Chains A and B, each alone.
Chain A
Amino acid sequence: MRFIFKTDYDQDVRLAKHGGHVFWYSLLGLFLVTAPWLLDEYWLAQLTFVLIYSVVGLGLMLLAGFTGLFSIGHAAFLGVGAYTEAVLAAQGWPFPLSLAMAAGLSAAVGAVVGLPALRVKGIYLGIATLAFGFIVEEGLARWESVTGGNAGKHVEPVNLFGWKADTELSFYAVCLVVTVLATLAVINLLRAPTGRAFVAIRDSEISAQSMGIHLARYKTMSFMISAALAGVGGALYAHKMQFISPDQFSILQSIDLLLMVVIGGLGSIHGAFLGAIFLITMPQLIALGKDYLPDAIAMAPGLQAVVYGLVLIAFVLFEPMGLYGRWLKIRTWFQLFPFYRKGMFKRQKSFQKSDRLK
């Protein structure tokens, strides 16, 4: 067990709280930097996808996991970002500018979608965002002069003031930089007053309000930041795929994104990354497992969807805190060995919560 002797308030503010953090995150950083030489081309591409989905996951995590607003239409923001990037890259905009535009436009759309969030809650917000997702998908398909409609659109490689990131390695480097910056931004936000206001809204709107938090402003802000991150992820996604069409941003994509944050563990930044790793590696694992299954199951269409569904149900039933929650339990077990108790992570019953003011 680690005991941290605190002598300074800055120790609670800084990013690395103790030597363990420094060590393990340096190791992770080292792996990510050397990955192009450690992994073959195929797995490097998968790692790039993990990074891209992590950025989107961070956005959705901020909204669903930290502000408590669920969006079942997040693929729409991904789509807005992807198409903005595709159009601007075709016109020769340098990557940082087009990326900022993709984020900005997604955020603007997010602000519009955030409006119903000020009035409706829970499942009704889900329905509103779902409807929005359909509108955007339909819009992308119909606005042929810009998006190329259902025929899709080719995406130019990343152009950094003349330097083109058109190889697997160079694009991986771009994604890594963007992901690290996005992660730092979200972590910073969460240790600052803005992030705490989000958490306050998630846990009790009534008392957040009585603490002076402007609910409408912070909910809209959360939607905008979340959409901006999804837009950034979308821009990277467009470059990675090199070809985008509206059906990549359908309800299925939205559900994948939601699945990602729930399985990763709502309310944790790690969860966004663990969820992305799950989402990307699961199809590979299913493909590997097919060899060992009878043909009738292995060849059945929709096997992946069934597995995803089962995994989601299992997580909701047995591990609502997701992969990260499971990891916390394992870590606590080792830290406290042999004093771990079964009920340590049980949630308190919320019977004392009042419904009168809601």
Chain B
Amino acid sequence: MSSDSDILLSARDLTVRFGGVLAVNQVSFDVRRGEVFTLIGPNGAGKTTVFNLISGIYTPTSGTIHYKGQPMATVPPHAVAGLGIARTFQNIELFEHATVLQNLLIGRHTHRRTSLWQDIFFAGKTRQAEIEAREKVEQVIDFLDLQHHRDSMVAGLPYGVRKVVELARALCTEPQLLLLDEPSSGLNVEETDDMAFWIADIKNLLGITVLMVEHDMGLVSKVSDRVLAMSQGEVLAMGSPAEVQSHPGVIEAYLGAVDDVSSLRRDHAAANAREAA
């Protein structure tokens, strides 16, 4: 077992109820420093809800989340980024009528050191901070090969590039924990390969811990250290990608129970028999 200092994020007995719907039920997991931890599960399993709990958009009905040993319950949503947690969204939420560069500079917001008055007069400190922010942003641009799109408006970019821009914006906050909500959704095969490559780089080169939700099992098994499978708000299985993929509960959640299938078969056989008779 790993010691407590290895654990970056720990969720205990998370439960969320929206009216009568139990979206997340008694979910517990630990994300260790420097690993890629993936949540999988069929649609409506509650994966994105878990993300929104971590980023403070929803409050859990019961249960706790600890980040670096500190409880997250009292942290307002806008302060989460300042703690070193950045996220991307399932349906890209970029600042559409701004350039890629501006989007990435907004990612530097948590590092701003200038006051409103310094901004209004564009004092020396603001200019200096702008150039420092730009240097950091350029590092991310280099990392993700976005040079070509630097000055393009986001509204005019293809979907695949936007996905990368969103990842870049999250990296610009210099996070310790990166939450990726379906990084490969809507991407073609090549772009998905690039994404796998980048996620591995983010983990290995930048040393950022990644917590992601993903459906593409190819990507999941390529980059994940551990996988948590959810269904209908509950934990089904946790372990290495191979372990989880072969877990009977997971197969059942995705494909249906063996009983269901065999009963269908029987019906089919019986129908054939009836027809023959």
Contact = CB atoms under 8 A, between A and B. Distances in A.
Interface stretch (B38-46, B72-80, B208-216): B72-80
A221 interface: yes
Given A194-B119, A347-B155, A215 B134 contact: no
Given A193-B114, A193-B119, A348-B96, A206 B155 contact: no
Interface string A1-41: 00000000110110000000000000000000000000000
B125 to A, nearest CB: 10
B224 interface: no
Contact of A212 (B109, B116, B119): B109
Contact of B112 (A185, A188, A193): A193
A200 B95 CA distance: 6
Given A9-B135, A267-B97, A347-B155, A197 B106 contact: yes
A91 interface: no
A199 interface: yes
Contacts of A200: 95, 98, 106, 109
A203 B102 CA distance: 12
A165 B155 CA distance: 48
B114 to A, nearest CB: 6
A145 interface: no
Nearest to B87: A210
Contacts of B135: 9
Interface in A139-174: none
A194 B105 CA distance: 11
Contacts of B106: 196-197, 199-200, 208, 211, 213
B127 interface: yes
Interface stretch (A51-59, A117-125, A243-251, A350-358): A350-358
Given A13-B130, A214-B78, A192 B122 contact: yes
A204 interface: yes
A211 B109 contact: yes
A231 B97 CA distance: 29
A210 B77 contact: yes
B155 A348 contact: yes
B122 A357 contact: no
B269 interface: no
B93 A12 contact: no
Contacts of B127: 10, 13
Interface string B94-132: 111110011001111110101010111110001101110
Contacts of A46: none
Interface in A198-224: 199-200, 202-204, 206-215, 221
A204 B57 contact: no
B119 A204 contact: no
A195 interface: yes
A191 B95 contact: no
Interface string B161-175: 000000001000100
B91 A221 contact: no
Contacts of B131: 9-10, 13
A194 B86 contact: no
B197 interface: no
B90 to A, nearest CB: 7
A13 B98 CA distance: 16
Contacts of A350: 96
Contacts of A204: 93-96
A212 B82 contact: yes
Contact of B86 (A202, A208, A210): A210
A350 B94 CA distance: 11
B91 A197 contact: no
30 contacts: A9-B131, A9-B134, A9-B135, A188-B119, A188-B120, A188-B122, A189-B120, A192-B114, A193-B112, A196-B105, A197-B109, A199-B97, A199-B102, A202-B95, A202-B97, A203-B95, A203-B96, A204-B94, A206-B89, A208-B95, A210-B55, A210-B80, A210-B86, A210-B87, A212-B81, A214-B78, A221-B116, A348-B155, A352-B92, A357-B52
Given A193-B112, A204-B93, A204-B94, 12 more contacts: A10-B127, A188-B119, A189-B119, A192-B118, A192-B119, A193-B129, A197-B109, A199-B102, A210-B57, A212-B109, A352-B159, A354-B91
Give the top 6 A-B pairs by smallest Cβ distance, nearest first: A212-B81, A192-B119, A203-B95, A212-B110, A207-B93, A354-B91
Interface of B: 52, 55, 57, 77-82, 86-87, 89-98, 101-102, 105-110, 112, 114, 116, 118-122, 126-127, 129-131, 133-135, 138, 155-156, 159, 169, 173
